[in-house]
Amino acid sequence: EMGKGSDLSNMKSLEHELHCHVCKDIVKQPVVLPCQHSVCLMCASEVLVANGYPAPELPPEPNSPASTPNTRSPRQARRPTPKAEQRPIDRILRSGYGTYPGRRRKEGPPLVMMFPCIPCGRDVELGEKGLTDCLRNLTLERIVERYRHTVSLGSVAVMCQFCKPPHALEATKGCADCRANFCNECFKLYHPWGTPRAQHEHIQPTLNFRPKVLTCPDHDQEKLQFYCRSCQRLLCPLCKLRRIHTGHKILPVAQAYQALKEKITKEMNYILSNQDTVLAQITQLESAITQTEVNSVSAREQLAQSIRDLTAALAERHASLTQALEKARQKRGEALAAQVSERQGLMEHAGLMAFTQELLKETDQPCFVQAARQTHNRLSKAIENLQHFTLAADPSFRHFQLDVSKELKLLTELNFTQAPLAPVIDTQRTLAYDQLFLCWRLPQESAPAWHFSVEYRRRGVVPGGASRGGIRGGLAAARWGWQRLDEVSGTSAVIDRLEMDSVYVLRVRGCNKAGYGDYSEEVYLHTPPAPVLNFYLDSRWGLHADRLVVSKEQRCARSVPGLSLLQAADHALTSCHLTSDLLVGDVAITQGRHYWACSVEPGSYLVKVGVGLESKLQEWFHLPQDMASPRYDPDSGHDSGAEDALDSAPPFCFLTMGMGKIYMPQHSYHHHSGHGNGIRDPITNGNSPSSPTGLTYPLPPRLGVCLDFEKGRVTFYDAHSLRPLWEGHVDCSGPVCPAFCFIGGGALQLQETIA
């Protein structure tokens, strides 16, 4: 009896889940819209007609006299009705509501039906076939049938269709194969032992017989045996072969059924295991509603006192401000009440949970997959709201304080003080290097801010080093609070003591007399993969003063055409190559991992950025550079004696940029290629910048270089997003220096440290 009582309680609690959003009554003959919501077939047809689409030929209502079983003649009542006559809903769905099978070539495009879905709040495209593509929600029909049988909401008695009219008995069984209702005696009569009819499936008496399985709306009698995850649709074997599903993730319906059922079961069990959390949140919401009422009364009294002090000058503004306050109170109360209603829906005996429990009783796999997607989405959203619970409205009314210190001439502009609007983070100036630099501004219409609060946290990491994953990981990450910089006076902030190679989430909000305003949108910054190496361009080695100009700060260099470059160009017709000029950093790396960044002027002809052995760089500097042989190309492994040791790493590793592009090889460094990074110099090796050996990509605003000395590996990054671009190797048998090579005119700027 306790079990029956629990089932009855569950059934009563899910009544709200069974309502049609159009007629607000228990759903009848539901069909699934493309948005996964279900609606009565009749309601859907009426809505489409009301929106100007052609009216379909609808079946009679199940309880209407035309469809009452015992209005037939005795001769008709003595045999089970053929299946084709018992499927009016399928006849409507098969009839192609809104289709134009006879459309000619010269006619316009087919009419695409749009259905206004109430839960979605938008128009859902049904396509030119209208309701034809909308499958019946057989699982929902079975749940409604069980609901009606358990709760017995005054449903009409179903009479036997085969008793003689004067002595008709109430039906006790329905036959899914005969699609008819029988009393006990008639059922035995029409299903005698030893005949095929004895194997028919008997069900509860019903006025709405359903097909046993879902069939494809485009290919009659074809069973839906597959599920397309990309389109989120059930497919038959013929639909699977369509070109539209090429490359899509298609699963057998049994696999989709099992995966979706496991997900929903885990989600339901998670919510049921967190009932204490739901109750605590409901209590908090109810307390917030009470506080809202109390604080609104206090704020209203303060407002009235201020109005009384200013009397006639404030009389006109009094009504408008009181109305604004009342609207705020009503809006917040409604928002918090809506949260209470939402959390009550997550209780064990609430509608959604009860509906889910009924849904999990479904054993027909295609039907379950078709009906369960919307429930899965709702449960996932409920879990997300449960994990990241915040009040929908602030119960305090600190924003509704009046500043009465202004002069009387400003009384016409008197209004509630407003907290600053959400700041806008300047993503162009915000960056991560040796520290994080965050820059923002307030919208023009915002109230001024006294100061700002900057908050940041490491993404996906919780105390103890565990990475975020799954529901438990999400809760653990949520418990790890934000770190804050309070009372920041300007519109920028510097954050230090950060982890390397990590993504940080940052946000900011302003504060004034009314309190804190809304947060800005969150931005994500990726810290460098290694400690930042700060160095200057070394001008002590032999430079061509007429070609290379180094800034006074030794952070910027520019290559300009000079006499020697013109002379080299004059010899170009005799197969001479243009010259290459190198700069190095004033540091020599002998251990560890280091990172630095620079920007190359987009108009540069060719600039190479990378690293090289200090000894080889000095040797290369002191050799004559205006020579025709490609032996002295710094991008070539020949300088390192690679002819003698093909298995050794090259002495140089460069990435070539120029003309707004970056030239990257198709493959990483190969020991037998004889080239340091697989890119032939477009000048010294005979390739033009428009057709280099490797691939070309747009030049990033900043290029990052990371050297791992122990591994002899150099990785190049897009320094703005920290996306790896290419990786090569370099000989680290001795000190290694950052190196830069100019071929033709160009300029580069070392990234300034934030400090």
Confidence (pLDDT) at 107 = 54
Which pLDDT band, with edges at 50, 70 and 90, does 178 fall under? Answer: confident
C-beta of residue 450 within 8 angstroms of C-beta of residue 494: no
Q: What pLDDT does residue 510 have?
A: 95
Q: What is the pLDDT of residue 469?
A: 43
Statement: residue 61 has pLDDT above 50: no
With a CB cutoff of 8 Å and minimum separation 6, the contacts of 47 are 22, 115, 116
Residue 630 banded pLDDT, cuts 50, 70, 90:
very low
| 238 three-state secondary structure | helix
pLDDT above 90 (res 686): no
Mean pLDDT of the chain: 75
Which of 62-76, 174-188, 494-508, 730-744 bottoms out in mean pLDDT, i.e. has the lowest? 62-76
pTM over 0.75: no
Per-residue pLDDT reduced to its tens digit, 707-729: 999 999 999 999 888 889 989 99
What's the token pair of residue 726? 């290419």
Q: Can you tell me the mean pLDDT for 682-707?
A: 64
Backbone phi, psi, residue 125, to 5°: -80, 125
Q: Give phi and psi for 357, each to the nearest 5.
A: -65, -40
Neighbours of 485 (CB within 10 A): 15
Beta partners for residue 159, in sequence order? 170
The domains located in the chain, with CATH, are 8-56+110-154 (3.30.40.10), 255-387 (no CATH), 424-460+482-527 (2.60.40.10), 537-625+650-665+694-750 (2.60.120.920)
Report CA dihedral (721, 723, 728, 734) to the nearest 10 degrees.
40
Fill in the amino acid letter for 350.
Answer: A
**pLDDT over 80 at 72, yes or no:** no
| pLDDT(678) > 50 | no
pLDDT at 427 over 70: yes
Percent of the chain with pLDDT over 90: 17
Note the pLDDT tens digit of each residue in 640-653: 333 344 457 788 89
pLDDT recorded at residue 716: 94
pLDDT of residue 379: 86
User: What is the per-residue burial (b if ≥16 Cβ within 10 Å, else e) of 419-437?
Assistant: bbbbbebeeeebbbbbbbb
Q: What is the pLDDT of residue 424?
A: 95
Closest to 716 in 3D by CA, of 628, 609, 565, 600: 609
Residue % of the chain over a pLDDT of 70: 71
Instruction: Name the one residue in this structure whose structure tokens are 């050996």.
Output: 693
Q: What is the mean pLDDT of residues 52-65?
A: 53
Give me the phi and psi of 495, to 5 degrees please.
-120, 130
Q: List residues bridging with 728 in a β-sheet.
A: 714
- Please give the pLDDT value at position 315: 67
Taking only the tens place, the pLDDT of each residue in 14-32 is 777 888 888 888 877 788 8
Q: What pLDDT sits at residue 210?
A: 66
User: Would you state the torsion angle of the CA atoms of residues 108, 111, 112, 113, taken in this order, to the nearest 10 degrees?
Assistant: 170
Which has more confidence, 1 or 675? 1
CA distance 499 to 481: 17
* Residue 49 pLDDT exceeds 50: yes
Q: Which residue has the tokens 């080889």?
A: 616
Pairwise pLDDT comparison (579 vs 140), residue with the higher score: 140
Alpha-carbon torsion angle 139, 142, 143, 145, nearest 10: 160
Radius of gyration of the chain, Cα coordinates, nearest whole angstrom: 38
Of 56-60, 320-324, 330-334, 708-712, least confident by mean pLDDT is: 56-60
Across residues 371-388, what is the average pLDDT?
85
Average pLDDT, stretch 94-105?
45
The answer to whether residues 548 and 621 touch, using CB atoms and an 8 Å cutoff, is: no
